[in-house]
Structure 1
Amino acid sequence: MEWLKRMQAAIDYMEDHMDERITIEEIARAACSSTHHFQRMFYMLSGVTVGEYLRRRRLTLAAQELASSSSKVIDTALKYGYDSPESFAKAFRKVHGVSPSQARHAGVKLKAFPRIAIQIMLKGDQEMDYRIVEREGFTLIGKVIETTSAGGKSSKEITEFWRACFEQGVIQRLSEQIEEEKLYGVVYGFDCEQDSFKYMIAGRAARGALADHPQAAEVGQAAEADSQTADEFKTLEIPASTWAVFTCVGPMPGAIQSLIHRIYQEWFPATGYEHAGTPEFELYPPGDSSSEDYQCEMWIPVIKKE
């Protein structure tokens, strides 16, 4: 499969340059992919972010080098991208549980994070209902958190964010600023260096609500607010896009989390589409989201890969 070959080429590139400073742009180029699409695909297929993979592999190789050679700790630290022995020692201890110097001792147990081999399995045993939609741009208003995929934190933090927004009355206050009952869960603002992104619980902004909110200066960026109500909420411009829209049925958040993984593990590799790199969102209509027959949608902006 073409995408499998491209992903493997990117992994090979990373492995061949573990002792060099490489960028996500260079890695994605090896996969003939955009940086955004590559990062999402890599995480969904491997379970770790690109940054996590590089850190773990470099610390694995560093431990092997220290245990089997007489190389100095500072030389090893610099070789694998650390600016100082202190930062290297901190990262090393976090992974291996011992200091770099202790790694030389006989009998010391070290962790090994093996080279990833990507395998894509198109099961086809469960239908994925989707449609391709052209939609004009629109404005959302909502509350934002910043989270990270590293260590699987985002799933837990986003679930907690929804719970807190309901319990603390944020959703009720937001309902006064939007023009329809549907709620959006928006993912945007990826930071390659920090493995972080922003998540907004939002709604379609009512005309009156926008008066207190300056429009976002750039597509996909939330504008800071300056009024008393606006202090809590930000606006976000969603650009006109081609969307792949997937139907999701089942209790939240498990059903939507499972669908998102299937989109990246099964749908993208089997189609000629890539993520457009602009905000994506979950669309939640009113109803009992814990119900087995609750139905929502996942909207992902796509471009046709040449």
Structure 2
Amino acid sequence: MISALNRLVDLVEQHLGAEFDLDGLARELGTTGYHLRRMFSSLAGMPLSEYVRRRRMTVAAADVILGEHDLLSIAVRHGYGSTEAFGRAFRAVHGAGPSDVRRDGGPLRTQPQLRFRLTVEGNIPMDTRILDRPAFRLLGHATRVPLIHHGVNPHIQQHITALPQAEHQRLKTLGNTEPDGLLQVCDDLDPDNTEGSELTYLHGVAVSPDTPAPDDLDGIEVPAGRWAVFRTTGPYPQTLQTTWAATATEWFPGNPWRLRPGPSIVTILDRADDFSTATCELWLPVEPG
């Protein structure tokens, strides 16, 4: 995976002024564009699209300061159809417009070219199992919420607490297959994993495909496939979020699996009364890498 990400960085450099074939590179490397984008954002700390924009504007800044070409020519060279679009992207990265930077020589906020390297981590074993599961259905109450990487997501918390206590019990009685219990389901995520991007959150249970679905519940059909299941115990939600991040930085680079499209599922196996600590399982859809 480290080699694949560095190939991706090289591809970005070769096509800073144009679109590039991410899926073609992924096929050449024996993986998928979906997995490459998810791993890039997790390890780089920014979406691939944001890195491309920063690198374009870093290189463009040199053209602006040299002053050998007009701004429209520079905009087109770097993949923009107008000076207005180029100016917005330039200002978003550098904090000043191209004309100001050409006059004053700055300010500039440069993005160095990334290079991924393997570091020795993984000194804490990850409690993982791989399951091959038939198709199932997720039933519950769904809403659209923004993605938040750290801490409790208040939008999800508000969605859950708005449900009557009797509804939680009703959902529990409907569940009849793994993953067991009440589930926290995230679906339709931005592959770049951009903080603030919207996802579908469902509070519900897993049922067999032939289970009748009440009209007042939302559903997500989950096809047959393999799942990597990570068990976590500790402060909630910090331990769960740390493990989620470690799947990208430690587990996937060291195992012959890759993410496939599908929902991410968390089930709470046990918890303190005040929810300060919990034992959870994180279910991620995977396929051979």
Bin the TM-score by the shorter chain: 0.7 to 0.9
Q: 1:1-306 maps to which residues of 2 (within 5 A)?
A: 3-29=1-27, 31-141=29-139, 142-147=141-146, 154-155=148-149, 159-169=153-163, 173=167, 176-177=170-171, 179-180=174-175, 182-191=181-190, 196=197, 198-204=199-205, 210-212=213-215, 229-230=216-217, 234-285=218-269, 287-288=271-272, 290-292=275-277, 294-305=278-289
The Cα of 1:136 is off from its aligned counterpart by: 1.8
Aligned 8 A contact 1:174 1:202 in 2: no
4+ runs deviating over 4 angstroms? 170-175, 190-197, 205-209
The Cα of 1:146 is off from its aligned counterpart by: 5.0
Question: Per the alignment, do residues 268 and 88 of structure 1 end up closer, same or farther by CA in structure 2, a change over 3 Å counting?
Answer: same
What is the percent sequence identity of the aligned residues?
A: 27
SS at match of 1:244: strand
Q: Distance in 2 between matches of 1:55 and 1:157?
A: 28
- For 1:6-46, what per-residue CA distance to the aligned partner results, in whole angstroms no more than 9, with x for missing partners? 21111111111111122432453464420111111111111
Q: Distance in 2 between matches of 1:183 and 1:41?
A: 28
**Map of 1:223 onto structure 2:** none
- For 1:63-122, what per-residue CA distance to the aligned partner results, in whole angstroms no more than 9, with x for missing partners? 121112322212222222223222221222122111111111234211101111112324
SS at match of 1:154: coil
SS at match of 1:250: strand
Q: Which runs of 5+ in 1 are unaligned?
A: 148-152, 213-228
Q: Distance in 2 between matches of 1:194 and 1:163?
A: 20
Q: Which runs of 5+ in 2 are unaligned?
A: none
SS at match of 1:86: helix
Q: Distance in 2 between matches of 1:286 and 1:7?
A: 37
Aligned 8 A contact 2:225 2:285 in 1: yes
The Cα of 1:285 is off from its aligned counterpart by: 3.5
One-letter identity of the residue aligned with 1:182: G
Deviates more, 1:295-304 or 1:84-93: 84-93
SS at match of 1:64: helix
One-letter identity of the residue aligned with 1:210: A
Aligned 8 A contact 1:24 1:192 in 2: no
Aligned 8 A contact 2:128 2:231 in 1: yes
Aligned pair count?
278
Which one scores higher on RCO, CA 8 angstroms, separation ≥ 6?
A: 2
Aligned 8 A contact 2:133 2:225 in 1: yes
Q: Distance in 1 between matches of 2:70 and 2:155?
A: 45
Aligned 8 A contact 1:31 1:38 in 2: no
The Cα of 1:284 is off from its aligned counterpart by: 2.2
SS at match of 2:271: coil
Aligned 8 A contact 1:251 1:291 in 2: yes
SS at match of 1:12: helix
